Amino acid sequence: MARWPKPQEGSWTEHFGLGTEPISYEDSVSPDFYELEREAIFKRAWLNVGRVEQLPRHGSYFIKEIAVAGTSVVLVRDGEDIRGFHNVCRHRGNKLVWNDYPGEEVSGVCRQFVCKYHGWRYGTDGQLTFVQQEGEFFDLDKSQTGLIPVHCEVWEGFVFINLAEEPPQSLREFLGPMVTGLGGYPFGLMTERFTYRAEIESNWKLYMDAFQEFYHAPVLHQKQTPPDWSGPALKNGFEAPHYQIDGPHRLVSTAGIRLYELPPNMRKPIEGLTRSGNFGPWEAPELGEMPAGLNPGNCEPWGLDSFQMFPNFTILIWSLGWYLTYHYWPTSYNTHVFESTLYFVPPKTARERLALEMAATTFKEFGLQDANTLEATQTMLESQVIDTFPLCDQEVLCRHLHKVTKEWVDDYQRETEVTI
Amino acid sequence: MSTPLLPAEFSDLEPFAAKWCLATEAERYSTRLTSSMEEMQAFYDAAMAIGEEAIAYCDQFPLTGMPDQAVNLMHLLYSLIAISFAIECWSQPRVPDSGAAYLDLIVEPTL
C-alpha cells in the first residue's frame, strides 16, 4: 500500500506516459552515441556555468572548460552586463586566459585580457584594443577582430551559456514554467559556499540517475543513521510524495522530518551536538515568503525539491533554508567531472558556522557513497551482458532523462539529414 | 612547554590539538584516513564530553577577529565532525567501498 497517493493512472511513470518497459543503457556505453550527444545536446542546450556572485565587479572573470563541446569559455562582468566569449585569441588561436596549466579553470579580476603569446589585448566587452606592431599586419580591421561571443543569459543569478550560433529558445523559454516558478527564491542571500569536485569514471547520466532517485537511499546510506532509524527505513523503503515533469526538465520532492523533535536514539550524537546533519542546520534562517514554484506538490511536511534541469544541472532546495547545485560535465563517453556547491546564508555565530560544517561534511560522506558505485556500474554496463534494465516507479526521473536525451539526439539527426 | 593552542578551560583537549587543529577540510580528511581508530576514539570521547562547552566558548566571539585559541578550538571541532563519521557510522576511517572515489573541497569558507 502506497504511503503517498499516486496519480490516477496508478503510477507516476504511466501518468507521464513514459512507458513501463525495461530500458537500455546503450546511451551510456556507446562512444558513437556520446559523439552525437556532444552536437545534439551540449552545443545546443543552455548550460549553467556558475553564479553572478562569482563575477562581483567590473572586470571579474572566470573560465569554464566545456570539454564536451570542445571549447573553453571566458565569463566576464562588463559593467552591468555578464558576457561570454570563446577563450581563444583571434591572432594565432592561443588560449587567451590561463595560468600555468592550460586545462585548469582560473578566475580573477582584470581591466583587459592580454594574450601571453604576442600581447594582443581585448576589453571586457570583447573588442580588440591593441595589436603589437599593428603596422606590420595587412588589412587588419580591429573592429572586426574581437573575441568570439557566446550567448550568455542570467536567470535568478544563475549564469547560462548557449554554444549554438542561434539558440532556438531564449533561456527563460528553455527553462519553462516549472523551473522559472522558483523565481524570487533568495538565492542571492546564500553566499557562503562549499564547492566539491571529482573526476568520475562513468558516463555523466549515471551520476545524474544516482541523484534523481532516492530508492537507493535506505539501502546505500543505511549506516549513516542509527539502527532505530535505518531499520524501519529499510523495511518501508522510499516513496516520493511528488514528481513533476516540464519539457526536458524534471522534479522530485521528498517529505520532511522535524529532526529536533526526534528522540536521541533516532539520530547520531554529533547531530545532537551540532544541531545539523544531512538535511542541513536545524535552525533555518528567516527567509520570508517562498515562491509558488517551490514545493509545487504542497507536500507537508516538506523536505526538499530537486530540480533536475536538462541537460546536466541540478538545483536542490532544502526546506531548512539552503540549497545546493550539481553539475555533470562529460569528458568522454565513460568519464565526467562532477561538481557540487552548497550555498548557505553566511553564519553570524560560531554555532551557526559549526552547523554548516556538519551539513557540508555529511554531504561529502553521502557523496562518496553515491560516487563509489558509479565506476562499478559503468564497467559492467560496458560488458553488455545485459541489454535492458527494469526501472521502478521511484526511478521515473531516470527513465525521463534517458528518453529526453534520445529525443534530442533524434531531433538533431533528423535536422542534419534534412540539411544534407 | 610552549603556549597552549587551546584556551585553558579546554586543557583536556590540548593533547589532541597539535594533530587536529587543522584549518582546511583537505587536511582534516586526510588526517582521518591515516589515523587509527583507537586514536580517533580517544579524541572523540574527550571532545564529545565537553563539546557543548567548546561551542559556547567560541560563540562568545564574533566570527571575524576571533582570538587565535578560539580559532584553534573551532578547527578542532571541525575535526571532531570529520572523525565522527569514522566512529559513529563506519567503524573504520574511510567511507566503505570508497577506495577509488574522492570528492575534493575546492572552495570553503576562510573560517
Q: Cα–Cα distance between B37 and A270 in angstroms, integer?
A: 17
- The helix (H) or strand (E) run that includes residue B82 is helix B68-85
List all residues of chain B from 66 to 95 with a beta carbon under 8 Å from chain A: 66, 70, 74, 77-78, 80-82, 84-85, 88-90, 95
Provide CB contacts within 8 A for A51, sequence distance 6+.
Answer: A157, A158, A159, A187
With the CA atoms of A253, A259, A264 and A269 taken in that order, what torsion angle do they form, in degrees rounded to the nearest 10?
90
Query: Any CB–CB contact under 8 A between B48 and chain A?
Result: yes
Q: Grid coordinates representing A95?
A: 588560449
Query: How confident is the model over A192-245, as pLDDT tens digits?
Result: 999 999 999 999 999 999 999 998 888 888 888 888 888 888 888 889 999 999
Q: Is the model's pLDDT at A397 over the cut of 60? A: yes
Q: A122-129: long-range contacts (C-beta < 8 A, 24 or more apart)?
A: A122/A96, A122/A146, A122/A147, A123/A78, A124/A58, A124/A59, A124/A61, A124/A76, A124/A77, A124/A78, A124/A79, A124/A83, A125/A78, A125/A83, A126/A83, A126/A85, A128/A90
CB A401 within 8 A of CB A216: no
- Average pLDDT of the residues in A251-260: 85
Neighbouring-strand partners of residue A113: A122
Residues of A in contact with B58 (CB under 8 A): 350-351, 354
CB B98 within 8 A of CB A372: yes
Residues of A in contact with B108 (CB under 8 A): 193-195, 360
CB-nearest partner of B108 from A194, A268, A269: A194
Query: Any CB–CB contact under 8 A between A364 and chain B?
Result: yes
- The helix (H) or strand (E) run that includes residue A381 is helix A374-383
Across the interface, whether the CB atoms of B58 and A274 are under 8 A apart is answered: no
CA-based nearest residue to A85, from A141, A171, A161, A143: A161
Q: Is the model's pLDDT at A326 over the cut of 70? A: yes
Q: Cα–Cα distance between A153 and A164 in angstroms, integer?
A: 13
Q: Cα–Cα distance between A266 and A281 in angstroms, integer?
A: 17
CB-nearest partner of A197 from B63, B100, B104: B104
- Average pLDDT of the residues in A101-130: 96
Choose, out of B32, B61, B103, B104, the residue to mutate when testing the contact with A (most A CBs < 10 Å): B103
Q: Cα–Cα distance between A27 and A30 in angstroms, integer?
A: 6
Q: Is the model's pLDDT at A151 over the cut of 60? A: yes
Query: How confident is the model over A157-191, as pLDDT tens digits?
Result: 999 999 999 999 999 999 999 999 999 999 999 99
pLDDT of residue A2: 63
Q: Cα–Cα distance between B60 and A357 in angstroms, integer?
A: 18
Q: Which residue type sits at A249?
A: H
Query: Any CB–CB contact under 8 A between A375 and chain B?
Result: yes
CB A287 within 8 A of CB A186: yes
Query: Any CB–CB contact under 8 A between A411 and chain B?
Result: no
Window from A121-125, A391-395, B96-100 with minimum mean pLDDT: B96-100
Q: Cα–Cα distance between A71 and B63 in angstroms, integer?
A: 41
Say whether pTM exceeds 0.80: yes
Q: Is the model's pLDDT at A123 over the cut of 80? A: yes
φ, ψ for residue A65, nearest 5 deg? -80, 125
Q: Cα–Cα distance between A282 and A301 in angstroms, integer?
A: 14
pLDDT of residue A161: 98
Query: Any CB–CB contact under 8 A between A106 and chain B?
Result: no
CB-nearest partner of B77 from A192, A349, A354: A354
Query: How confident is the model over B29-44, as pLDDT tens digits?
Result: 999 999 999 999 999 9
Q: Cα–Cα distance between A14 and A210 in angstroms, integer?
A: 21
Q: Grid coordinates representing B63?
A: 566570527
ipTM of the complex: 0.98
pLDDT of residue A420: 54
Query: How confident is the model over A195-208, as pLDDT tens digits?
Result: 999 999 999 999 99
Q: Cα–Cα distance between A382 and A29 in angstroms, integer?
A: 6
Q: Cα–Cα distance between A89 and A80 in angstroms, integer?
A: 24
CA angle (A316, A84, A45) in 5-degree steps: 50
pLDDT of residue A340: 97
> Min CA distance, B110 vs chain A (Å)?
10
> Min CA distance, A223 vs chain B (Å)?
6
Query: How confident is the model over A277-301, as pLDDT tens digits?
Result: 999 999 999 999 999 999 999 999 8
Query: Any CB–CB contact under 8 A between B46 and chain A?
Result: no
Query: How confident is the model over B61-92, as pLDDT tens digits?
Result: 999 999 999 999 999 999 999 999 999 999 99
Q: Cα–Cα distance between B69 and B5 in angstroms, integer?
A: 6
Q: What is the mean pLDDT of chain A?
A: 95
Provide CB contacts within 8 A for A280, sequence distance 6+.
Answer: A318, A320, A321, A322, A344, A355, A359
Domains of chain A listed by start with CATH number: 14-29+183-417 (3.90.380.10), 45-173 (2.102.10.10)
Q: Is the model's pLDDT at A358 over the cut of 80? A: yes
- Average pLDDT of the residues in A86-107: 94
